Amino acid sequence: MARADSLQGALPILILKILARRGPQHGYSLTTVIEQMSDDLLRVEEGSLYPALYRLEEKGWVSASWVVTEKNRRARVYEITAAGLAQLAAEEQRWTAVANAVVHILKHA
């Protein structure tokens, strides 16, 4: 079982990828997608998610806006920007290289 802090370094790329594939999402939706797609192996706490979203917004990789949901509640919705798409491409290459190196070591050490 993955510890909550093991997700920390991967959280930004996971957020960017979900936004790129699924379009605008609110925070709760992002946590739900990550947890469901990882079969609950990766758990996202609010204390990690929202600071990560704020950092992505500060870097210009996501934009945020307030919307009113179908249940008449206000929700902050996040959307990937063009700069975020470029960053996602670079991060995917980096993560793939790191993952391949780890797999290589696990197989050959």
- CB-based contact 84:21 (threshold 8 Å): no
| Whole-number pLDDT of residue 49 | 95
Q: What is the CA radius of gyration of the chain?
A: 15
Distance CA 104, CA 109 (A): 8
pTM to 2 decimals? 0.87
| Domain range 4-108, CATH architecture | Orthogonal Bundle (1.10)
Tokens of 62: 């996501």
pLDDT, one tens digit for every residue, the chain (109 residues): 444 445 568 999 999 999 999 999 999 999 999 999 999 999 999 899 999 999 999 999 999 999 998 899 999 999 999 999 999 999 999 999 999 999 999 999 8
User: Residue ranges per domain, the chain?
Assistant: 4-108
